[in-house]
Amino acid sequence: MAVISSAADHEAQVEAILRAWGMPRAQAGETAEILGYADLHGIDSHGMSMLPPYDQWRREGRLDLAAVPKVVKESPVSALVDGGGGLGHVPGAFAMRLAVAKAGVSGIGVCVVRNTSHFGACGYYGLIAAEAGLIGMVSTSASGVRVAPTGGASARLGTDPWCFAAPGEPGRPFLLDMATTTVAFGRVRNKANEGLPTPSGWVLDAEGRPSVDPTDVSERGGLLTSLGGTAENSSHKGYGLAMMADILSAGLAGESFPSDPLHAKGERVGLAHFFLAMDPGLFREADAFKADVARFGDAMRATPPLDPGRPVLVAGDPERAMAVRRRVEGVPMGDGLRAQIRAIAEASGADWLL
């Protein structure tokens, strides 16, 4: 069962909880908007459902909810930003906007954020670049260590996601937002929250055996598979993409890797993010590039589908379609998650708006 609320109420509930936690108005508004973006676009694993783990970090005293991002090292094409030990949304948006500004002057900008934590859905930041007419790349280290390297029997990596974005038709950029595992942990957690099994190939139990029980991962130390699924079907590629996501974020920021024994267990959460923005005008007329990206996407959408009722989609299409629907119909919330969020609101003295 799911209760449905308007996107505005849903986002207001997130903001009310963040404010009750002591986050200043400006940061709470932006953080709620970014979490609301995820839920509105159907990325349920990275919206409201992140409040329980954020609440745990907060109660452990490991988040500075009033943190303000600061530039600590800079060049015409780059900046290292210190997130101040808070949530990652505000420094993430700041860093991508700074990368966009640098790309406006130098053609390319790369910003890395250190001393940060979870920043919601990668795609939000890639979209900032694409909406500015730029190519965007984003990666981040993840806090949960739930993935074994190919051929390994113990977890050493997170879901360590990437976003790749490119401007095309206005309002319809190419926007690939992907965990480097077969699926994001949040999708497994959401199955567990609702008591549903996971499809074959998503998870392994703690001994590395295939499983369809999401609680093997959420409760009993099981593992997510790297994209590819098995060694024979090239899970080393998903594993390699995860390492590179960590190298660009944690590596360039000087934060811990998921394989470090104390990763995300310190006084601060200690994650890191990577943002790149690049002007296609460095190479050719930008409008011609955008027209070509639009044409490329349309060629995909025009591919004869395997199932006549299910047209071929392009990265970004499913999320945009979901946002159109949820803006009208509202945002659903399963009973399991709803109970958790209600308890968090009550414990922190936030109004219940849903």
Range 9-68, binding its own copies (CB under 8 A):
none
Q: What Rg value do the Cα atoms of the chain yield, rounded?
A: 20
Residues 223-242: x where in contact with its own copies by CB under 8 A, - otherwise, as a string:
----xxxx-xxx-xxxxxx-
Burial category of 151 from C-beta neighbours within 10 Å (exposed 0-12, middle 13-18, buried 19 and up):
exposed
CA atoms of 167 and 278, how far apart (whole Å): 11
E strand segments, 50-134 = 70-75, 78-82, 108-116
Nearest-approach distance from CB 69 to its own copies, in angstroms:
15
For the window 136-175, what string marks contact with its own copies as x by the rule CB under 8 A?
Answer: ------------xxxxxxx-x-------x-x-------x-
Q: Are 34 and 124 in contact (CB under 8 A)?
A: yes
Q: Which of residues 242-281 bind its own copies (CB under 8 A)?
A: 243-244, 246-248, 250-254, 257, 259-260, 278, 280
Check binding of 196 to its own copies (CB under 8 A). Answer: no
**What residues pair up with 139 in beta bridges, in sequence order?**
162, 274
Residues in contact with its own copies, counted by CB under 8 A, come to a total of 82
Rule CB under 8 A: say whether 306 interacts with its own copies.
yes
- Output the smallest distance, CB 184 to its own copies, in A: 10
Other beta carbons within 10 angstroms of residue 124's beta carbon come to 26
Q: Which long-range contacts (CB under 8 A, 24 or more apart) does 192-195 make?
A: 192/217, 192/218, 192/219, 193/49, 193/334, 193/336, 193/337, 193/340, 194/334, 194/335, 194/336, 195/336
Q: How far is the C-alpha of 184 from the C-alpha of 264, rounded, in Å?
A: 18
Binding-residue pattern over the window 67 to 106 for its own copies, x denoting contact by CB under 8 A: ------x-xxxx-x-------------------------x
Footprint on residues 207-226 left by its own copies (CB under 8 A): 208
Question: Looking at beta carbons only, is 12 or 286 nearer to its own copies?
Answer: 286
Q: Is 343 in the site for its own copies (CB under 8 A)?
A: no
Q: Which of 195, 221, 305, 349 binds its own copies (CB under 8 A)?
A: 305
Query: Any contact of residue 311 with its own copies (CB under 8 A)?
Result: yes
